[in-house]
Amino acid sequence: MKDQYDLVVIGGGPGGCMSALHAAKNGISVCLLEKTRDIGYPVRCGEAIGEMGVGQFFKPKESWIATRIKKCRIIAPNGTKLKISFKKEHGYILNRRIFDYDLSLMASNEGAEIHTKSYVKSIEKINELYHIHFDHLGDSKVIKSKIVVGADGVDSRIGRWAGIRTQFKMKDIESCVQYSVGNIDIDINRMDMYVGKKHAPGGYLWVFPKGEGFANIGIGVSGKYSKEKSAKKYLDEFIEKNYPTATIHTNMCGGVPCAKPLSKPIADSLMLVGDAAHFVNPITGGGIAAAMKSGMFAGQVASEAIQAEDTSEEFLQKYISLCKKDFVNRHNKIYRVKETIQKLTDEEMNYIADKINQLPPHKITLAKIFTTAILKKPSMIIDVMKMFAGF
């Protein structure tokens, strides 16, 4: 480990690894610090992503893909199942453990240093350099860096230490639990999403297949409602009722942002990426692609800043512009739709599901579901139109 780097990346998920990869590729010195003992583990993720979410960066390796998702069912509170086939783009359920590990290998192949078991305790800016204080395998260490990328996830503190308010409002975060479940009967090409207050108030419950007979079954309950009944209680009741033979092989929990993207995820010599910058699709909770994209942009902009010898907030504005154009504007529109969807009652959701199910199966698309929802909540029209226009 050196005393000083051009860039220190804090956090070794997809956002952090992509930052390190692209910064190193562009020739600057990079050190990535990960608090846990493994890159890619523990997995705190449903692991679903669209084909292009990965494909826009890499030709996916078979080992990254657990299952291919070709269809989904959205299940209304009354049990009505809306069946949708994905025609344009399929999805993947990833093996995040392998995927993240490979991303970190790619970053190190480009010259980035990776250090696990490295918990960052504080950062302070002295003159032009960030001093990063961390515990590494029980020893207290300090390294200096011209730029810091905070890729430290939903519980990011890096931004706070640089004066960016990263705390979530309770209505903008989902309280989540997920089990890796075995001994169940499922279709490996189909994902199920249970909606409504009955299943998961302000969020949804998912069954994402990971292989023959096993799946990620998880739930997100909005922080607005999690006080009344915990996510774990909802999930346990669901599994007992719907998958009584299930065996639980992994317990995990976590928070998923369903917030507006931070409007200013930068400070002098510092950028936040991925969940740390609240870059998550506020309806689906999907954040891998946005983390990778923002990570890539941050890595590129960091290398440009080093070459230009200007790491000021003003220079780093370019990072914000790149994210805005790519996904932030779209996430802002999706956020408004989310707010309206959260206001739908279970009765309204049942009505929408029953209406849509009267259509011939080939006509059932996500767009159709939204347009039918509009009939119930006319105020959604503009938001939904904006959302689809942005796609």
Partner 1 sequence: MIDIKENACDFCGVCVSVCPPDCIEVRESSIIIDNDICIDCDLCVYICPIEVLSSS
Q: Is residue 228 packed enough to be buried (19+ CB in 10 Å), middle (13-18) or exposed (0-12)?
A: exposed
Return d(Cα 23, Cα 27) in angstroms, integer: 7
Nearer to partner 1, 277 or 305 (CB): 277
- By CB under 8 A, what part of segment 117-136 binds partner 1? 117, 119
Side chain identity, residue 375 = L
- By CB under 8 A, what part of segment 79-118 binds partner 1? 117
Strand, helix or coil for residue 76: coil
Residue choice 56, 109, 167, 307 for contact with partner 1 (CB under 8 A): 167
- By CB under 8 A, what part of segment 173-192 binds partner 1? 173, 175-177
Q: How far is the CB of 226 from partner 1 (least distance, A)?
A: 6
Range in contact with partner 1 (rule: CB under 8 A) among 19-27, 141-149, 160-168, 378-386: 160-168
Range in contact with partner 1 (rule: CB under 8 A) among 31-39, 181-189, 349-357, 383-391: 31-39
Return d(Cα 226, Cα 174) in angstroms, integer: 8
- By CB under 8 A, what part of segment 208-237 binds partner 1? 221, 223, 226-227, 230-232
Report how many residues bind partner 1 under the rule CB under 8 A.
33
Q: How far is the CB of 222 from partner 1 (least distance, A)?
A: 10
- By CB under 8 A, what part of segment 334-353 binds partner 1? none
Q: Phi and psi for 104 in degrees, rounded to 5?
A: -70, -35
Residue choice 55, 60, 182, 255 for contact with partner 1 (CB under 8 A): 255
Take residue 132 and report the two structure tokens written for it.
């990063």
Residue choice 155, 310, 314, 347 for contact with partner 1 (CB under 8 A): 155
- Told to check if 382 binds partner 1 by CB under 8 A, we report no
Range in contact with partner 1 (rule: CB under 8 A) among 36-44, 51-59, 66-74, 372-380: 36-44
Cis status, amide bond into 77, omega within 30 of 0: no
Tell me the C-alpha to C-alpha distance, in Å, between residue 229 and each of 169, 200, 201: 18, 10, 10
Cα–Cα nearest to 182, from 213, 217, 218? 213
What is the H or E stretch that residue 299 is in? Answer: helix 288-308
CA 30 centroid distance within chain:
24
Residue choice 254, 261, 265, 274 for contact with partner 1 (CB under 8 A): 254
Return d(Cα 384, Cα 382) in angstroms, integer: 6
Q: How far is the CB of 170 from partner 1 (least distance, A)?
A: 6
Nearer to partner 1, 166 or 300 (CB): 166
Nearer to partner 1, 254 or 285 (CB): 254
List 208's β-bridge partners, or say none: 216
Cα–Cα nearest to 313, from 106, 162, 143? 162
Q: Is residue 332 a contact partner of residue 262, using CB atoms and an 8 Å limit? A: no
List 48's β-bridge partners, or say none: 93
Range in contact with partner 1 (rule: CB under 8 A) among 8-16, 88-96, 166-174, 353-361: 166-174
Nearer to partner 1, 21 or 176 (CB): 176
Strand, helix or coil for residue 56: coil
Nearer to partner 1, 89 or 155 (CB): 155
Side chain identity, residue 333 = K
Q: How far is the CB of 278 from partner 1 (least distance, A)?
A: 10
Return d(Cα 311, Cα 187) in angstroms, integer: 50
* Chain residues in the site for partner 1 (CB under 8 A): 35-37, 44, 117, 119, 153-157, 160, 166-168, 170, 173, 175-177, 221, 223, 226-227, 230-232, 251-255, 257
